[in-house]
Structure 1
Amino acid sequence: MHPDTITRRFNRMVDLADVPRIRLHDVRHTYATLALDNGEDLKVVSDRLGHANVTVTAQIYTHRSVGKDRQSAERIAGQFFGKDWAMRA
């Protein structure tokens, strides 16, 4: 099958689904980002993407996601001040 045929079919499905249009290649990045942001194991994501090792996945697909740094800081602060510390502040 010609690559342009696949792209046209993908774009048609995206239009029918009434979701924002992205490039077919971006689906891979979107999957990896959403999976990792939702706590999926890096090794699982790496395997699903077909990477030889998790280092490749980490270098390409992991980045600072909005809000993740705050969640991490709050979890660590909870270790120091107790889990309900944020409610007292």
Structure 2
Amino acid sequence: MPSIRFHDLRHTHATLMLLQGIPVKVVAERLGYSSIITTLDTYNHLLPSIQRDAVTIFSKNLFSK
């Protein structure tokens, strides 16, 4: 079994929270950042897919009634 660094677990935890729709501010606080800027800079690559998911969910909720 490969060794996993603590930093890798921390990164995975943050990634999973963002992908589940947890607000960036909450993720930043859990990581101990005083500002969301570090979180946004580090995890910016996830945001396009999160934005697409938000549009899909919003559209389904809006037009399903």
Judged with a 3 Å threshold, the aligned counterparts in structure 2 of structure 1 residues 25 and 52 are, in CA distance, closer, same or farther, namely: same
* One of 12, 19, 23 as aligned partner of 1:41: 23
Within a 5 Å distance, the mapping from 1:1-89 to structure 2 comes to 21-64=3-46, 68=50, 70-75=52-57, 77-78=59-60, 79=62, 82-83=63-64
Identity across matched positions, percent: 37
More helix by share: 2
AA partner of residue 64 (structure 2)? K
1:36 and 1:42 in contact (8 A); partners too = yes
- TM-score of the aligned structures, taking structure 1 as reference length: 0.51
Structure 1 unaligned runs (5+)? 1-14, 85-89
Name 1:87's counterpart in structure 2: none
Q: Where do 4+ consecutive residues of structure 1 move more than 6 Å?
A: none
RMSD: 2.7
Structure 2 unaligned runs (5+)? none
- TM-score of the aligned structures, taking structure 2 as reference length: 0.65
Judged with a 3 Å threshold, the aligned counterparts in structure 2 of structure 1 residues 50 and 62 are, in CA distance, closer, same or farther, namely: same
Identify the structure with bigger relative contact order (alpha carbons < 8 Å, sequence gap 6+): 2
Q: Number of residue pairs matched?
A: 63
* Structure number with larger C-alpha Rg: 1
